[in-house]
Structure 1
Amino acid sequence: MNVTQAEFVISAVGPAQYPEEGLPEIALAGRSNVGKSSLINKMIQRKNLARTSSQPGKTQTLNFYKINGELYFVDLPGYGYAKVSRTQREQWGKFIEQYLLQRDRLRLLLLLVDARHPPTRDDVSMYDWLTHFSIPVCVVATKADKIPRSQWQKHVKQVKETLFMRGSDPLVLFSSETGLGKDELWAIIQQHTEVGQPAPQAAPEAD
């Protein structure tokens, strides 16, 4: 997909603040510091539209980014960060769950895991939760550039087996440094949103 326009629109913690254009939405979830902001920036070919930080737990709201006026990326707060208070984690959990279960414009959730390591207990819990509620999910294994190419399939197998992934759910090996997986991920997003597709040609009229 050729991205010509991308903008941050709003940080939200409840339905009253969500955008109302009716555009399809792609949410991103994962543990803190797994690379959600870096993935967004790579997908839209911008260096810092989504703020990256070496400090985990930085994203504390639902951050909506409008892409080409056709869809939104929705960056969710990262999970599994111990220094966030229990009360704050519970608050995040409530508005994240409300969004994921009630937002009818949500078309797909990208679950990011670190390709270098087996998915964490939190990753497994999130995947189980998503599948329980039949939320469409694509697993994205990030930081693939940190792994030798010869080890890619070993790590992909490790992710699939640890999550007990359903065969129908795609897994994309991704690198925000090299762009590996970018086109594949855009193709999956377009399948779920039908944005960026050429308009169907009208059938010729019969004489």
Structure 2
Amino acid sequence: MTSGLWITFEGGDGSGKTTQSELLSTWLGSGGRSVRHTREPGGSEVGRLIRDIVLHHRGDIAPRAEALLYAADRAHHVATVVRPALARGEVVIQDRYLDSSVAYQGAGRVLDGAEVRDLSLWATEGALPDLTVLLDLDPAAARLRLDADDKPFDRLETEKEEFHTRVREAYLALADAEPERFLVVDAALPAHEIAAQIRDRVEPLL
């Protein structure tokens, strides 16, 4: 798509995406790379408004409306943040992208995953990352991590284990379907071991 490198991090809540994306950003930056660390939703001013709705709105949101809100954030984020950064030759490290919508709004909300994916591809003019790191973790183990953080849960984190099990299964199916794009890592491993596996996969892409 451009001259930069685009890496996304995926996985269930509590799998360590933020930690690992920050570690990778620091490693790349120490090597002299210009890095843009961002997230969805919330990687832009518009995105922060949408993030507040989809994650912290007190009332119910219809599943299709939720999917459309994420797609709207994604369209704006790719157009105003991701593409310009890649055009400048930067490495974009992103916490969540369209695979999250396929897993959460598709499998989690029991919508058609292919339709959800197509919606995001239309919204972003077909943009796909060079590499997607999937941090795979059993939902029960993820819940223990979230409980230990002692932070208020957002709308998705409060969903039942059955919801998060469907999300995990959808993620693994996506990785099986696109092994050339995905790196699947056992998120139960120590953080430094996970980071080393990610660096090994990223280094040849630089």
What is the TM-score of this pair, normalised by structure 1?
Answer: 0.44
Larger relative CO (CA 8 A, sep 6+): 1 or 2? 2
Specify the structure having the higher radius of gyration (Cα).
1
What is the TM-score of this pair, normalised by structure 2?
Answer: 0.44
Q: Which has the higher strand share?
A: 1
